[in-house]
A and B are shown apart, each in its own frame.
Chain A
Amino acid sequence: MKTLQTLFSYLPPRLAMLAGHALSLAVAVLTAVVLHYVLYRIDIPGKPFIYVAF
């Protein structure tokens, strides 16, 4: 994170601001997708149903 912030300081302030928003948005979307997927996965039982005819 520190390195990332350092890299940001290379950029002109306006561009750094835009890049910061874009990066934060990308991380937000990724987090939402991961959370959405995790909710789906934890909903699936760990052991599958094994069909046995009787």
Chain B
Amino acid sequence: MSDLTQFSAARPPDTPRWFQPRTFLAGFAGALVLLSVAGAWLGRQDRHPGFTRFHPFISPEAQYYPTIAEMCAIVRTHCRPNQVLVIVGGNSIFYGVGQPADKMWTRRLQELLGDRYCVVNLAFRGASAADGAAVVAEVLRDEFPRQIYVANVGPMQGIDPVGSDPYRFIFWEAYYKGLLMDYAPRTRYIAQHFRNDARDRRAHPEIIGRVWLDRLLHFRDLWNYVTMEWICTIPSAYQPALPQVHWPRQRFADTEPDFVDIPWASRFRRDLASTELGIVRGFTESYYHRDGEGPWQLAEWKRKDVDTYIRLAMPEALRRRTLIIVSKNSPYYVDQLAPGERERDDQGYRDTLEIWRGAGYHAATYPNDFAAADYGDRTHLTVTGGRKLAGMVADDVRAIAAECGYQATP
């Protein structure tokens, strides 16, 4: 028998116990309250100094999931209340793939629009026009009433009103936290979405549960802060080895390469030419038919499909201040289409613009002066292409601002 056991056997019965249940419960509850308050406070702080865009290290590609509060904080840091807020969303084209941060197209857009406007690029690679940036724009509708949302889509490309799968977490957060406008058609669509989408139907209680818990405890904001500022505890393919795996994400800069530094032959690979051409054809191929050499006709079901979804994606009041740009493919590929395919492609753009405009959006596509050199690959723009894009978007943004009566003061 050890000395300690002998002592224990001899201890008086009123020795205080090491574990005090009441203290534990009070401490546990108090700590959760403190963590929740800290998370709520940290969520409102901008932890992205020098923010350019959501580059891979601070996006779901590297297991970093920004919160609504975090994205709103970025906007608040950049935009003064007397400026017209221009939120840019969409996919990798509007994100600026192939354009270094100091030459990205939205920086040029800011220069062209001047200090009366504030441009914030919240596009994600692989996102849609209804993803994160659109959600943030809607959440900030009252705080920044003078705002314009700009995003891109492909021809004949509709959008899912709840966003695309990798970025849907942003929509669910805003929706279940009650941050979005009350829009009955969208609410009905969401109910239908959970009936039709087997995976989301199974996950529905979990989605609601975790948003509810996060609303209460703010764990995403707090631990995103820790990940950004102190230590990263989530491995990702972008920093798989030690010590980088634990570096705070703030240490990783936006290092987007410049397309012009990549040889042309690597960007327009001959062995992938037929695949790329197939993608170009694919935008319209399945939806059009014609009799003989007559005009190309869009299948009515497709027209209805796109029209229905884009109307569900946004309340009408928000559509009026939304600019949709229908992105084009590089002339390097488009010029290789057969004449009939080319006509169908052109018709696809005209019909896409008509559908978006018919639903109450502003819509445009690139002018015809975009040359092959303005593209870094089939669809992404080089710095020169980005400058052209900025020029056309700036004109459209000014026109929408005037139409909406935004009187920004410098």
Question: Given A1, A28, A40, A49, which contacts B28 in the complex, CB threshold below 8 Å?
Answer: A28
Q: Per a CB cutoff under 8 Å, which of B8, B14, B233, B237 touches A48?
A: B237
Given contacts A5-B17, A52-B126, contact A32 B220 (CB under 8 A): no
Q: Mark A30-54, 1 if CB is under 8 A from B, else 0.
A: 0111011101111111001111111
**Majority SS at the chain A contact face:** helix
The tally of CB-CB contacts under 8 A between chains A and B is 135
CB of A43 to closest CB in B, whole Å? 5
The CA of A53 and the CA of B92, in the complex, are separated in Å by 8
Residue B301 is within 8 A (CB to CB) of chain A in the complex = no
Decide: A33 near B7, CB < 8 A? Known: A13-B14, A39-B219, A40-B219: no
Q: Is the interface of B mostly helix, strand, loop or mixed?
A: helix
A9 touches B28 (CB 8 A): no
Partner of B379 from A19, A27, A53 at Cβ < 8 Å: A53
Q: Is the Cβ of B16 less than 8 Å from the Cβ of A13?
A: yes
Tell me, in angstroms, the Cα distance from A32 to B214 when the chains sit together. Answer: 14
CB neighbours of B28 from chain A (8 A): 28-29, 31-32
Question: Chain B interface (Cβ within 8 Å of chain A)?
Answer: 4-5, 7-8, 11-12, 14-21, 23-28, 30-32, 35, 56, 60-63, 65, 92, 97, 125-126, 166, 210, 213-214, 217, 219-220, 222-223, 233-234, 236-237, 279, 377, 379-380
Cβ-closest 7 pairs across A and B: A28-B27, A32-B31, A9-B11, A49-B166, A40-B223, A6-B8, A28-B28
